[in-house]
Structures are given as structure tokens and as C-alpha cells.
């Protein structure tokens, strides 16, 4: 199996078994090893008392992008630490896109940055995360060719 095939198989496996990401309405746009692009649209039930998108919804989108990207190598990885900044508000109907990119991959840890944008590429959140790589494989037959 190639690295690309493994990434796609891993991400689709995780997404298919992730009812929360599905409830959010997340759709998968692009998958590569260590990289994922996803999107969703903000619904009324995702708003807070001020009529703005709840920060936890944006965090959840970024967290899902992280989960897909860091697990795309075919082994179980889990969030150790994350920080997020919200430079712009999000409203009902906004289409959010999250791009997760791997910046460092070591034997036991990985470092990722997830940028969340809305509509016309306006940055609404920057999410930085460190993950722990357990070494436990998602599938038995993992041997990559490239």
C-alpha cells in the first residue's frame, strides 16, 4: 500500500466511525499523509447566546482536522496539548475550512498547525497542537511502498 493509499484508508476509517464529526457536517476535501483539508457550514444550533458561532464548534472542527491528519500515517495518535486563537468572529451560514499541516513528526510526537478560514479565505482560528504517537497500527497489513 502506498503512503497516499494508507492516508486515505486511515482518514476514511476514522471519519466513518466518528459520529461527532458527521453531526458537525464535516466533509473531507483533501487527504495526504500528514495533511487534511475539511469543511463544514455553521448551523443555528451551533450559535452561542450572542448569536455567534460557539468557539467550541470551531475548536471541534480544528480538532477533527488534527485527528485525521495525525492519524493519516496509519497509527494511533492522540492530542497531548493544544492552543487556539480566534482573530475573527463566525456567523450562522459561514462555511468554515480547516487545513491541518504536519510541521514535525518524530517517533513519539508530532506537531501540527491547523488554520481555519471562512468564506473568502478570512482566518477565523489558528490551532496549534502536539500529539502523542502510540505506535499502535489502525490496520494489520501496513507496509508502505513510497
> Domain with 43 in it: what CATH number?
3.10.129.10
Among all chains, which residue has been given the C-alpha cell 485525521? 68
Question: Is the torsion defined by CA of 145, 71, 35, 113 positive or negative?
Answer: negative
pLDDT in tens, 96-136: 999 999 999 999 999 999 999 999 799 999 999 999 999 99
Strands across the sheet containing 95-105: 27-32, 35-41, 95-105, 109-118, 122-137, 75-85
124: CB partners within 8 A, 6+ apart: 58, 86, 87, 88, 89, 90, 94, 96, 116, 117, 118
Residue 88 forms part of a structural domain: yes
CA distances to 78, 97, 135, 146 from 29, rounded to whole Å, are: 22, 9, 27, 23
Q: What is the DSSP string of 85-134?
A: E--S---TTPEEEEEEEEEEE-SSEEEEEEEEEETTTEEEEEEEEEEEEE
What are the φ/ψ torsions at residue 141 (nearest 5 degrees)? Answer: -90, 35
Residue 126 forms part of a structural domain: yes
Number of domains in the chain: 1
* Angle, alpha carbons 77-38-12 (nearest 5°): 55
Residue 46 forms part of a structural domain: yes
- Helix/strand/coil for 80: strand
Residue 62 forms part of a structural domain: yes
pLDDT value of residue 133: 97
Residue 72 forms part of a structural domain: yes
- Domain extent, residue 125, equals 3-137
pTM of the model: 0.94
Residue 70 forms part of a structural domain: yes
pLDDT tens for each residue of the chain, 146 residues long: 899 999 999 999 999 999 999 999 999 999 999 999 999 999 999 999 999 999 999 999 999 999 999 999 999 999 999 999 999 999 999 999 999 999 999 999 999 999 999 997 999 999 999 999 999 998 876 555 65
Residue 12 forms part of a structural domain: yes
Residue 143 forms part of a structural domain: no
* Angle, alpha carbons 57-122-103 (nearest 5°): 75
Contact at 8 Å (CB) between 143 and 18?
no
Amino acid at each position: 500500500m502506498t503512503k497516499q493509499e494508507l492516508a486515505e484508508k486511515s482518514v476514511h476509517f476514522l471519519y466513518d466511525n466518528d459520529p461527532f464529526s458527521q453531526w458537525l457536517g464535516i466533509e473531507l476535501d483533501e487527504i495526504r499523509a500528514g495533511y487534511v483539508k475539511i469543511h463544514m457550514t455553521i448551523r443555528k444550533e451551533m450559535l452561542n447566546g450572542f448569536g455567534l458561532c460557539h468557539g467550541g464548534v470551531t475548536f471541534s472542527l480544528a480538532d477533527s482536522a488534527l485527528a485525521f491528519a495525525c492519524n493519516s500515517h496509519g497509527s494511533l495518535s492522540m492530542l497531548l496539548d493544544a492552543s487556539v486563537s480566534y482573530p475573527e468572529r463566525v456567523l450562522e451560514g459561514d462555511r468554515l475550512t480547516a487545513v491541518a499541516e504536519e510541521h514535525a513528526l518524530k517517533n513519539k510526537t508530532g506537531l501540527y498547525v491547523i488554520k481555519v478560514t471562512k468564506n473568502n479565505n478570512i482566518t477565523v482560528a489558528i490551532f496549534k497542537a502536539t500529539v502523542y504517537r502510540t505506535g499502535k497500527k489502525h490496520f494489520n497489513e501496513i507496509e508502505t511502498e513510497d
